[in-house]
Amino acid sequence: MFILDTITHRLKRGCETMAYPQGPAPVLPDRHGGALKVDASLCADSCTACVPVCPTEAVIRQAGKPVSLDLGRCIFCAACVKACPTKAITQTGDHRMAVRRREDLMLGAPGEEELRLAKALDAKLRKLFGRSLRLRQVSAGGCAACEADTNVLGTIGWDLGRFGIQFVASPRHADGLLITGPVTKNMELALRKTYDAVPEPKIVIAVGACAIAGGPFVGHAEVNNGADSLLPVDLYIPGCPPHPLTILEGLLRLLDRLDK
């Protein structure tokens, strides 16, 4: 009887896994501003109102040059958006933020107002990883926020496994690493050993401001300011923390599983 009740309950609930990417993307919460956009042409002469309010020094304006924003260091507090009198820095509400190169997270120069989104892996690696990608997640000194949003992808609403992407316990069973946290000095050796244990060919994904550039701890003597100071990174997913949709979109874009 218990089994029949369970089956009946499941049938009534229906499918709770979102249709994305075949269907529309989930709507981000209002307080999640999404990716930032920088239009340096709107900057007033010598205005630096946005620079001192940034807690991670992600916003820079050198004398005689337009403002620039490092989205890799950004913790998305929106302080610069509120401080800018000319609206040169704005929130787009766009969940898509993953890039392949660190320099593609720099915004503000002509032609670089918005992100250059990540391109897929080459054909050989897509053939290897496209249907079955196993990742070992390493929390290299993280606060558990990025880790939590990564874990969300395994729930019924997201069902990361339907794309053939899974997190594994052993690096020897993995195709690559997904790193969170600023890579503290105490985690440096563990991260190197974990990377070395992953068989070739392998990929590295840096998730969150800490893993990309150190986040709020940037410049501290006890952190390495991100994963690419130690390892070659193939995908950068900014955020503090990134929304689960941002992480999923980046993974699918890397595997060429998106239409656009």
pLDDT tens digit string along 76-110?
999 999 999 999 999 999 999 999 999 999 998 76
The reported pLDDT for the residue numbered 167 is 97
Q: Which helix (H) or strand (E) holds 203?
A: strand 203-207
Residue-wise burial string across 185-223, b where 16 or more C-beta atoms lie within 10 A, e elsewhere: eebbeebeebbeebeeebbbbbbbbbbbbbbbbbeeeeb
- Using alpha carbons only, what angle is made at residue 194 by residues 147 and 257, rounded to the nearest 5 degrees? 60
The answer to whether position 107 is within a domain reads no
Profile the chain (260 residues) by mean pLDDT over runs of 10 residues. Answer: 75 79 81 89 86 93 85 95 92 94 89 84 92 95 95 93 95 97 96 97 97 93 94 97 96 88
Q: Is residue 105 part of a domain?
A: no
Q: Which ranges of 160-206 does DSSP label H, i.e. alpha helix? A: 185-197
CATH number, position 246: 3.40.50.12280
- Expressed as residue numbers, the domain containing 198 is 123-254
Q: How many domains does the chain have?
A: 1
pLDDT at 260: 61
Residue 86 lies in a domain: no
Residue 80 domain flag: no
CA separation for the pair 89, 123 (Å, rounded): 37
- Residue 217 domain-assigned (yes or no): yes
DSSP-assigned beta bridge partners for residue 166: 134
The helix/strand count (H/E) of the chain reads as 7, 10
Burial class (CB in 10 A: 0-12, 13-18, 19+), 6: exposed
Residue 137 in contact with residue 208, Cβ under 8 Å?
no
Handedness of CA 96, 99, 103, 104 (dihedral sign): negative
> Is the residue at 87 inside a domain?
no
Q: How far apart are CA 13 and CA 176, in angstroms?
A: 36
User: Residue length, the chain?
Assistant: 260
What are 161's two structure tokens? 């496994």
Q: Tokens for 182, please give them.
A: 């600023």
Residue 51 lies in a domain: no
How large is the angle between the packed helices 244-254 and 145-152, nearest 10 degrees? Answer: 70
What pLDDT, on the 0 to 100 scale, is given for residue 111? 66
Judge whether 132 lies within some domain.
Answer: yes
Which pLDDT value is given to residue 63?
77
Q: How far apart are CA 239 and CA 112, in angstroms?
A: 19
